[in-house]
Amino acid sequence: MSTHVCVCNRVTEDEIVGWIQRGVVTIEGLGEYCDAGTGCSDCHDSLEELIEDFQTDEAASRPAPEAPVGSR
Ligand code: FES
């Protein structure tokens, strides 16, 4: 079971970590790809922590992946 990091948009930690590992390493980027952090902003600190914990140098130097079609 995965907890919701972003309660506003019901985005789970697993989902967020998945995007970070695919190279989405900014809060703005996560908002774009999975809507995390686009509501009340209370989760921004948690998002930053996850980005710090899970981003890799390789991911940071890679262009962000294409937004998935129909993922919302
Ligand atoms: S909890 Fe993420 S924007 Fe409100």
Domain residue spans of the chain: 4-61
Residue in the structure block whose two tokens are 């774009």 = 32
Tell me, using a 6 A CB cutoff, whether residue 42 lines ligand 1.
yes
Phi, psi of 4, deg, nearest 5:
-80, 115
Residue nearest to atom 2 of ligand 1 (CA): 6
Residue-wise pLDDT for 20-70, tens only, equals: 999 999 999 999 999 999 999 999 999 999 999 999 766 556 666 676 666
CA of 5 relative to ligand 1 center, distance in Å: 8
Return the residue whose CA atom lies nearest to atom 4 of ligand 1: 40
Ligand 1 centroid – CA 53 distance (Å): 19
Please, which residues have CB within 8 angstroms of residue 5's CB and are 6 or more apart in sequence?
A: 11, 12, 13, 16, 36, 43, 46, 47, 50
4-8, 12-16, 37-41, 66-70: the lowest-pLDDT one: 66-70
- DSSP 3-state assignment of 8? coil
Find out if CATH 1.10.8.60 is the number for domain 4-61.
Answer: no
| 67, 32 Cβ separation under 8 angstroms | yes
